[in-house]
Amino acid sequence: MKRLAALALPALVLLPQAALAHPGHGEAAGLVHGFLHPVSGADHVLAMVAVGLLAALRGGRALWALPAAFLALMAAGAGLGMAGVEVSGLGLPVAETGIALSVVAFGLAAAFGLRLPVAALGALVGGFATFHGYAHGAEMPETASGLVYGLGFLAGTALLHAAGLGLGLAIAAGTRRTVMAPMLGGAVVASGVVLLAGHF
């Protein structure tokens, strides 16, 4: 079952339209659309599940701190995207590259068991979350419906973090942690490289 999970991650990027979770790919209004947005693109799914995986493998305060950092800075990035603000050249093309890089970075951190302090891991996760948020916010309508959409994508993101936490806790409690964590991390890295290659 665990091997199946490891193989499923790179397979996500091979699904038709899997990586297309950004503007021009459907209506961006309402709670349901917001909730479905993060779970409909391989780039977001891989990154957000990987955050939960990292948090579980790190343990302790990281269990809540890493998902919280991601959610908070993703919301901040969404605000920038909604306002159409470009900070140091941050625009949608750069944001999408940043999202692909986040998948690679989170996968490497899981594969090598990166043991940074929780604050440093939170900064890493939160920094990349800004790109995810910007991409979400750039397509969010400037209406009350858009606010509800934003709450939906935060809920969808939290659900993906929870899935990663569950997977990571199962691995941490198992006898094959030293094999499974690098295997899953490597699968995430490989998927991120495929996503990244699509931007060049």
CB 107 within 8 A of CB 47: no
Residue extents of the structural domains in the chain: 24-197
Tens digit of each residue's pLDDT (9 = 90 or more) over 112-156: 888 889 999 999 999 999 999 988 887 776 665 677 888 888 999
Tens digit of each residue's pLDDT (9 = 90 or more) over 48-83: 999 999 999 999 999 999 999 999 999 999 888 877
Neighbours of 176 (CB within 10 A): 10
* CB-side neighbour CA atoms (13 Å) of 99: 29
pTM: 0.81
Alpha-carbon distance of 153 to 60, in angstroms, equals 26
Tell me which of 5-9, 39-43, 127-131, 163-167 is least confident: 5-9
Alpha-carbon distance of 98 to 128, in angstroms, equals 7
Backbone angles phi, psi at 42, to 5 degrees: -60, -35
- Residue 120 has what pLDDT? 94
